[in-house]
Amino acid sequence: MNTSAPSLILHHYNESPYAEKIRSLLGYKGLAWQSVITPKQMPKPDLTALTGGYRKVPVLQIGADVYCDTRLIAQVIEELHPTPATTGASWSEVVAHWVDVNLFGKSVAFTFSQIIDFLDDTFLADRAAMSSHSGLTRDMVKLSGPLARQNLASELRWVEQGLSAGAPFVNGTHPGHGDFTLYCALWFARFGRFDFSGLPATDAWMKRMKAFGQGDRTEMAAEAALDVARDSTPLPLPYESQSPDPSGIALGMRVSVQPEVMGKETVEGELVGVSPERLTLRLNSERCGQVHVHFPRVGYKVRRMQPT
């Protein structure tokens, strides 16, 4: 296990597929990390105190630096711990993006239709509000199951073709970002008991991915993680800003950042870093002191806030 680098604190919950993507990556890298369990639905007072409002999981905290979204979290882990690598010349990033915008939703629709009787009303209402589908009922979720299963099965044939081509991973000889992203979607489909028996190459690949485990995990209280943020100073930015940005924002402006899909919560702060790949906002709060909250550009809208 590599313990010399700064402590990795993952805010997550066990049932979250995107959190499983990062847990599995931490397993592949053989890393020690601290686990802070968040609620599965709003309110999430500790997480949002740290992020300034971002509610999704997982979130990676390193001292007073807070990384939102698994695309960015995976990049940061790769920068800090490049061995064993997840990089390589392949279509892995294209696969990751296809999973994010397409396959993941099909997996969620399928598995929710299977487990809906075990979910409570407040959870359902939370997810309905998040997807702007206020009239969502249990029956609607259940009825969508057969079509979700069929859609998932159709697209998993593409995955089966790709994984039958000979290489052990989507990325080639070793796993890449596409492997971990695909794995989290299929891990969730398996949780809903999707039948993988007609997909032997996919099934064998899932076993290879599962074998990475989740690294060396230690539980930590949320309050303790927020104390770490308060007692730390954000690190110098690891990237060059390109300001002004074509979107019209520039360093020093007050901006708001919002996910493009699912969840309308915004994070507002001073823009202290901007590049075609990343955004960084400086936030101040009593509980966390000064933190830098980082986002990838892909999947997030950024707007200048009107001066008050």
Ligand X SMILES: N[C@@H](CCC(=O)N[C@@H](CS)C(=O)NCC(=O)O)C(=O)O
Sites of contact with ligand X (CB under 6 A)? 16-18, 40-41, 55-57, 69-71, 262, 299
End-to-end CA, the chain: 50
Contact 225, 36 (CB under 8 A): yes
How far apart CA 265 and CA 300 sit, in angstroms, is 11
| Shortest distance (Å) from residue 265 CB to ligand X | 9
Q: Which residues of 146-181 are buried (b: 16+ CB within 10 A; e: fewer)?
A: eebbebbbebbeebbebbeeeeebbbbebbbbbbbb
Residue closer to ligand X, measured from CB, 116 or 253: 116
| Shortest distance (Å) from residue 141 CB to ligand X | 16
Residue closer to ligand X, measured from CB, 17 or 27: 17
| Shortest distance (Å) from residue 41 CB to ligand X | 6
Amino acid making up residue 14: N
H/E stretch holding 208: helix 200-210
| Shortest distance (Å) from residue 40 CB to ligand X | 6
| Shortest distance (Å) from residue 182 CB to ligand X | 13
Residue closer to ligand X, measured from CB, 112 or 212: 112
Residue closer to ligand X, measured from CB, 70 or 151: 70
Contacts of 280 (CB under 8 A, 6+ apart): 237, 271, 272, 273, 274, 292, 293, 294, 295
Residue closer to ligand X, measured from CB, 126 or 245: 126
